[in-house]
Every structure is written in structure tokens, then in C-alpha cells.
């Protein structure tokens, strides 16, 4: 019986590592693209913080598209931290 539990734990760890890898890759590629002259997400965030004057619906959609990988990364890391704090690791 304990062997099955070890296999289940191993599958859970591999799934969490896979999600973390995907989140990091998405954040560093889609989340930051295009890279020059500055990351697109950074420019959109500055625009929103400056009052978002002149932003159209497409600009908000663009902000969501470039921001989602970072939200997903925060979710995956937070979920992993909560599991470790609760002792479910």
C-alpha cells in the first residue's frame, strides 16, 4: 500500500514541476515579448498607472494576454508554497 502512495506522490510532484516549468517559460516568452525597446507588459502597466488615457479595448486585451502568464506563475508558486506550509508535500 505504501508503494502506491509513493507513486501517487511522485506523480503529484512531477505534475507540479511541469506546471512550474510551463509557467516560467510562458512568463519569460509571451509575458515579456517583445523584448525591445522594453517588455510590452511593462509598457502597458506604465500606461495604466498613468491613467490609461487613450487605451482602446485592444490595449486591454493585450494587457490581459501578456499578463496572464505572470498570474499563472504566481498561482502555481502560491499553490506550491501553500502545500508545503500545510505539510501536504
- The confidence score (pLDDT) of residue 18 equals 86
pTM: 0.74
Give ∠ CA 20-21-26 in degrees, rounded to 5.
100
CB atoms within 10 A of CB 27: 20
Contact 40, 66 (CB under 8 A): yes
pLDDT-wise least confident of 26-30, 74-78, 85-89: 85-89
pLDDT at residue 36 tops 90? no
- The confidence score (pLDDT) of residue 31 equals 85
CB atoms within 10 A of CB 45: 14
Q: Is the dihedral of CA 35, 39, 40, 41 positive or negative?
A: positive
- The confidence score (pLDDT) of residue 7 equals 54
Which comes out higher in pLDDT, residue 28 or 6?
28
Q: What is the mean pLDDT of residues 23-37?
A: 88
Domain ranges of the chain: 2-85
Amino acid at each position: 500500500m505504501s508503494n502506491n502512495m509513493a507513486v501517487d506522490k511522485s506523480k503529484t510532484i512531477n505534475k507540479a514541476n511541469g506546471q512550474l516549468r510551463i509557467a516560467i517559460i510562458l512568463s519569460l516568452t509571451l509575458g515579456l515579448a517583445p523584448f525591445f525597446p522594453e517588455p510590452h507588459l511593462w509598457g502597458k502597466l506604465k500606461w495604466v498607472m498613468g491613467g490609461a488615457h487613450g487605451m482602446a479595448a485592444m490595449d486591454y486585451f493585450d494587457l490581459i494576454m501578456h499578463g496572464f502568464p505572470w498570474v499563472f506563475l504566481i498561482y502555481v508558486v502560491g499553490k506550491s508554497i501553500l502545500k508545503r506550509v500545510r505539510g501536504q508535500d
